[in-house]
A = this chain, B = another copy of it.
Amino acid sequence: MAEETKTKRQLQAEQTKLKLFNAAVELLAVQDFEHITIRDIVTRANVSIGTFYNYYSTKLEVFYETYQVADRYFIEEVAPRLTQPTCAQQALCFFEHYAHYSSELTDRNMTRLLYGPDNPWFNRPQDGSLVGVLARVLQRGLDSGELTSYGDTASEIAAWMMISIRGLTYNWCTANGAYDLISATRWSAARLLRAYQSP
């Protein structure tokens, strides 16, 4: 019975944490990260302020958790779908998912945060991250002769493309989503790729 009680508690705790997390993410859709207060979050989550501090020890923590969620999405959902015949198609598909994630699955403020100056998401080891996924796609292209390296490694090319596309995503944010991110990304990525496509 003690175990059952504990399980109940654990479930409740998980739900409470999820409520807080969702509330935080939802608020990002409406207002700026800097201006979201903990009171906002707990009000939306229908819990008390004290409860917040039972799960997160600082305001930033709840937002950083979103990175992990995004990480998981790319590794587990996107990577397995890159099964197109050519490397270029796979790369474009990769970026399409990337844009889709930024513009559809998460809202603009979330993306803004994701691309914000304090996000440690980028500049992490490529292996096991989404850049690694792209690098492996490009490596296959170099191996098959579909791409020309011009002296750069697959890793370098992947990082370069990611950085450029990140610039685009960020620009889309600051333009308040004034244009369609997915097609803009496809357009840009195609040109980036062309710099390495064998003539």
User: A-side interface residues toward B, CB under 8 Å?
Assistant: 34, 112, 115-120, 122-123, 150, 160, 163-168, 170-171, 173-175, 178, 187-188, 191-192, 194-196, 199
Contacting residue for A164 out of B118, B164, B174, CB 8 A: B164
User: How many protomers of this protein does the assembly include?
Assistant: 4
Chain A: interface secondary structure? helix
CB distance from A42 to the nearest CB of B (A): 15
- Once the chains bind, are B191 and A160 in contact (CB under 8 Å)? yes
Chain B positions within 8 Å of A187 at CB level: 160
Chain B positions within 8 Å of A174 at CB level: 117-120, 122-123
CB distance from A141 to the nearest CB of B (A): 15
Chain B positions within 8 Å of A115 at CB level: 170
- Once the chains bind, are B175 and A168 in contact (CB under 8 Å)? no
Contacting residue for A165 out of B34, B167, B173, B199, CB 8 A: B167
Whole-angstrom distance between the alpha carbons of A187 and B159 in the complex? Answer: 12
Query: For A116, A167, A173, A191, which residue has the most chain B Cβ atoms within 10 angstroms?
Result: A167
Known: A112-B117, A117-B112. A188 touches B171 (CB 8 A): no
- Once the chains bind, are B173 and A117 in contact (CB under 8 Å)? yes
Chain B positions within 8 Å of A195 at CB level: 191-192, 194-195
Query: For A117, A150, A163, A178, which residue has the most chain B Cβ atoms within 10 angstroms?
Result: A117
Chain B positions within 8 Å of A170 at CB level: 115, 117, 166-167, 170
Whole-angstrom distance between the alpha carbons of A173 and B117 in the complex? Answer: 7
Contacting residue for A188 out of B120, B164, B166, CB 8 A: B164
Chain B positions within 8 Å of A165 at CB level: 164, 167
Chain B positions within 8 Å of A119 at CB level: 174
For A175, the closest partner residue in chain B by CB is B123
CB distance from A16 to the nearest CB of B (A): 17
| A/B interface sample: 16 pairs, CB < 8 A | A117-B170, A117-B173, A118-B174, A119-B174, A120-B174, A150-B191, A150-B194, A163-B164, A163-B188, A164-B165, A164-B167, A164-B188, A164-B192, A165-B167, A191-B195, A192-B192
